[in-house]
């Protein structure tokens, strides 16, 4: 699971950089950029919550959420089919 979390953090960071460049160079509508940046921030919050959860039962629920969220990136290099929920 640590590999999935690390990989997903890199994907989200890449997305965040992409949308910040789009904002800087006005390459996309501001509403779209702000929505995508908010999505990236929300994903980071979920990953942080998973990492901080001490209760094994609650952590299992967070693990499922992380796996589901990662499927949005399954076409990217490095995604492992074993990470599917």
pLDDT digits (tens, 9 = 90+) for 61-83: 999 999 999 999 999 999 999 99
pLDDT digits (tens, 9 = 90+) for 5-44: 999 999 999 999 999 999 999 999 999 999 999 999 999 9
pTM of the model: 0.93
Helices (H) and strands (E) in the chain, counts: 3, 0
Domain spans of the chain, in order of start: 2-76
Of 49, 46, 74, give the one whose Cα is nearest residue 83: 74
DSSP-assigned letter for residue 41: H
């Amino acid at each position: 699971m640590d590999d999935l979390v690390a990989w997903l953090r890199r994907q989200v960071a890449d997305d965040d950089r992409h949308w910040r460049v789009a904002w800087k160079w006005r390459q996309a509508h501001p509403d779209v950029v702000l929505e995508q940046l908010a999505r990236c921030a929300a994903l980071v919050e979920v990953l942080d919550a998973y990492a901080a959860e001490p209760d094994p039962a609650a952590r299992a629920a967070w693990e499922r959420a992380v796996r589901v969220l990662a499927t949005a990136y399954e076409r990217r290099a490095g995604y492992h089919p074993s990470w599917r929920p």
